[in-house]
Every structure is written in structure tokens, then in C-alpha cells.
Amino acid sequence: MMERTYVMIKPDAMQRGLMGDILSRFEARGLKPVAVKLMRIPRELAERHYGEHKGKSFFDPLIEYITSGPCLCMVWEGDNAIQACRQMMGKTNPQDAAPGTVRGDLALQTGRNLIHGSDSPESARREIELFFNDYELVTYERTMDIWMYE
């Protein structure tokens, strides 16, 4: 089923020069970029994005971290894209993340885990709406898609 998911490269990945590595994984998998923008996330938006974690012990450090520098905010589209992207990210704690995943290959701590991805169709809808206007989501055909989908 064709899906769209919200993916965000976090400030640690941007500072460490890992943007290209991470993007190339999504691109090579065959996912289609629908929206991309570099953004220093305002605190209020960060708090709304991570609203489900409000009150938890790691909430304040999480907001500090995510607002500490630029993030690359994106929407990727593809067959079962939400789960596919979550798999490519790896488990929340990089120590539990499998090799071959972004977190398993490139990170060591939960509080510096490089990337965010929506965890369900409901969060994908909510997060895409939070970060993008309709006119920023680009619908287009790719000739390569006949080599991606049967």
C-alpha cells in the first residue's frame, strides 16, 4: 500500500556530516522524496511534535537536542513506507539497533540517535501536517517506478 511518512534528520546527524549518507539510503531503497526542507525547529513546534512524551524524564533534554541546530525535515513515499523507514532507522536505543540500520551503523546513544520517523499512519498524517503545507508536498511520477513496483 502506497504510504507517506515523516522523516527527520536530527541536529547531531547534520553536525556530524551524515546527511548524505542517510539520504542515500532512503533514495537507494527506492523511496520517493515528496518534501524536503532544512529547518531550525522552533521550541513550540518541537513540543507539539513530541507531545506524546510530555512529562517524561527525557522530554526537556529531547526538546533541547532537537532545537539545538538545523534538522532536515522530509516526507518520503513508497510501498509500506512507514514500516520500511522505521526498519531502516533501527531501534530507538542505538545499542539495540541492528547493523545495517542508520542508528545501528552510526550512533551509540538514545539521546543522540540521529533520525526520526513516524511510527503509524496516524502519526504520519499528524507529523506531515505539522511540518508541511499542502503546497510543499510534491506529487509527481518517476519513470523508474516501473522498475520498483510490479
Q: Name which position in 110, 125, 130, 136 contacts ligand DAT (CB under 6 A).
A: 110
Among residues 15, 138, 24, 119, which one has the least CA distance to residue 75? Answer: 138
What is the chain's alpha carbon radius of gyration, rounded to the nearest angstrom?
Answer: 15
Looking at beta carbons only, is 53 or 54 nearer to ligand DAT? Answer: 53
Active-site pick, 10, 13, 116, 132: 116
35 touches 137 (CB < 8 A): yes
Q: Name which position in 62, 74, 102, 106 contacts ligand DAT (CB under 6 A).
A: 62
Active centre residues (catalytic) = 116
Residues contributing to the site for ligand DAT (CB under 6 A) = 53, 58, 62, 92, 110-111, 113, 116, 119
